[in-house]
Amino acid sequence: MAFSLEPVDESFFTDAPQRYVFSMDLPVPPERVWEEAMAGEQPLPFVRGLSVRWISPAPRGVDSTRVAKTGFGAIRLQERYFVWDEGHRNAFMGTAINVPLFSRFAENYVVEPTASGSRFTWTFASDLRGLKPAVAANDVVQRAMFGRMAADVRRHFTR
């Protein structure tokens, strides 16, 4: 990875220059969402254009690391978890990326039980690199890409 990213903490999920929050009610138990979307050996396998590989061994928790590839491999991001509340919430920050897209990046996953299944809230937070016109264009691209990823999650758990 050629570009190191600056560290973040939990405040980044409310203070980041770019934030994308997708909350979805799903007709499946929270345990299933957790296992398939967050904690399994192949997290989010149903999200098109995304592949995730754990670097650190199980059991997973704070300081676990993985590499995610998106854009069908064009973007590679190293990730390190800084929150891990088993079965309910986890959050990671990007530590390095292969393209100079972000100065900071993080994701937060929250799974909560509901009367009819679960609510999954997926938050993406970033601080894009570049001049204002480039940042504005990248913001549009990010919103569309993350929205498609969230739609893939919804589709998987509601079919």
Cβ partners under 8 Å of residue 138, min gap 6: 101, 128, 130
pTM summary value: 0.93
| Domain ranges, residue 83 | 3-158
CB atoms under 10 Å from CB of 71, counted, come to: 12
Say how far apart CA 142 and CA 31 lie, in whole Å: 29
What is the rounded distance in angstroms from the CA atom of residue 120 to the CA atom of residue 42? Answer: 18
Task: Count how many domains the chain has.
Answer: 1
Residue 19's domain is classified under what CATH number?
3.30.530.20
**Residue 6 belongs to what H/E stretch?**
none
DSSP 90-109: EEEEEEEESSTTEEEEEEEE
pLDDT in tens, the chain (159 residues): 589 999 999 999 999 999 999 999 999 999 999 999 987 788 899 999 999 999 999 899 999 999 999 877 889 999 999 999 999 999 999 999 999 989 999 999 999 999 999 999 999 999 988 766 666 777 788 889 999 999 999 999 998
What pLDDT does residue 111 have? 97
